[in-house]
Copies of this chain bind each other. A is one copy, B any other.
Amino acid sequence: MATSSTSALAAPRTGIWLIGARGSVATTVVAGWAAVAAGLQPAVGMVTHTPPFADCGLPDLPSLVFGGHDVAACPLPKRAEQLAAQGVLPHDLPHAVRAELAAADAEIRTGGPLVDDLRDDHELISAFAEDIASFRMRNNHARCVVVNVASTEPAPRAGDDRLPASSLYAAAALRAQAAYVNFTPSTGLHHPALHGPYEVPVAGRDGKTGQTLLRSVLGPMFAQRALTVRSWSGANLLGGGDGAALADPDAAAAKNAGKERVLADTLGTVPEGVVHIDDVPSMGDWKTAWDHIAFEGFLGTRMVLQTIWQGCDSALAAPLILDLARIVTRAHEAGLTGPLPELGFYFKDPDPGAPSSLSEQYTALLGLADRLRVAHT
């Protein structure tokens, strides 16, 4: 049949299956991808668009196709308009990329478990895996990567032997032979039932977008200068879905563990001080993070560094997600499997253990680019 023979000849496509596909991060990913692919916006924030990643064989933007799971019903074009009203997306963008948003929305399936869901874990995994497989088939694409961008889920409780939702989706990805990226601090593959080895590349967890990004350069600075950090305290204000989710101390605990790990790794000790995450609904997707670092210099002199980071979470996350999807897809093609340690650059809690200093992580990332380039040429 004409169509199928055309399909067979078409360039291979890469599927990106987003868990939380109608959230603000996912909406920004799809709208931003469409804008950059169409040349409406520069690729600011996408590290894979910088010279070191040329000729690495990464899938190009037009070859990507999006779908995903969500339990929310508001369609992507509508979500994009809401984000534009908040200043997260350029005002005209939802209109300009309406077709692409609608196309992605048509590929979104209802996730779960829903309230009163009678399916057990196995049934859910099967259903999710089937959604993914069907998406791949429908879109004639060679590879697929599942990326978790859903709201942070509460830390699992001891004694609860059901898999958390993030792990159900992770299991479905493995079942469907899709690569897997966990951009949230949720459990995902970090569950005893899902230990590897894996036949696909996986990456995680908890995207490093703001305060922890800063900590991963400031921690090494103090260490390299042999200055003693006495306390490192922080406050985060954010609205949006994540603000509400992280106001739950259990959910925040997972996130804060990642933040503290960066300090422990780079400073060699854990300084005094805690991090708070506050839900401030009126801030929407905008986040303000204040850090107060009390340190001691020569002869015990007390000094202080404070930082204030005012950013838009979705805008910070989206280009990293496109980066990860492209790199992991290419790694999959190049035959790499399991956790990719060179992706620590992107995560608060890199999997497997990786250096916490951003500059070391960047060097490692460039090394991966080199490996992929060599494999490509």
Partner pick for A50 among B226, B273, B292, CB 8 A cutoff: B226
Which of A132-140, A145-153, A253-261, A276-284 is near enough to bind chain B?
Answer: A276-284
* Bound CA span A32–B298, Å: 8
Instruction: Mark each residue of chain A from 30 to 52: 1 if its CB lies under 8 Å from any CB of chain B, else 0.
Output: 01100100000101111101100
Which of A15-23, A179-187, A211-219 is near enough to bind chain B?
Answer: A211-219
* Bound CA span A91–B280, Å: 24
* Bound CA span A171–B290, Å: 43
- Asked if A99 CB lies within 8 Å of chain B CBs, one says no
- Asked if A220 CB lies within 8 Å of chain B CBs, one says yes
Interface size for A (C-beta < 8 A) is 74
Residue of B nearest to A315 (CB): B301
How many copies of this chain does the complex contain?
A: 4
Which secondary structure dominates chain A's binding surface?
Answer: mixed
Which of A117-125, A191-199, A354-362 is near enough to bind chain B?
Answer: A354-362
Chain B nearest CB, measured from A106 CB (Å): 23
Residue of B nearest to A50 (CB): B226
- A283 contacts across to B, CB distance below 8 A: 231, 294
- Asked if A308 CB lies within 8 Å of chain B CBs, one says yes
* Bound CA span A274–B233, Å: 16
- A273 contacts across to B, CB distance below 8 A: 237, 278, 280
Chain B nearest CB, measured from A377 CB (Å): 23
Is B308 a contact of A305 with CB atoms below 8 Å? yes
Given A217-B217, A359-B360, is A306 in contact with B308 using a C-beta cutoff of 8 Å?
yes
Which of A64-72, A82-90, A161-169 is near enough to bind chain B?
Answer: A82-90
Given A278-B233, A316-B298, is A221 in contact with B214 using a C-beta cutoff of 8 Å?
yes
- A237 contacts across to B, CB distance below 8 A: 231, 233, 273, 292
23 contacts between A and B (CB under 8 A): A28-B299, A32-B299, A41-B298, A45-B225, A45-B298, A47-B226, A87-B301, A91-B91, A213-B221, A217-B220, A221-B358, A224-B345, A230-B282, A231-B280, A235-B292, A237-B273, A288-B292, A297-B316, A304-B310, A306-B308, A307-B308, A308-B308, A359-B359
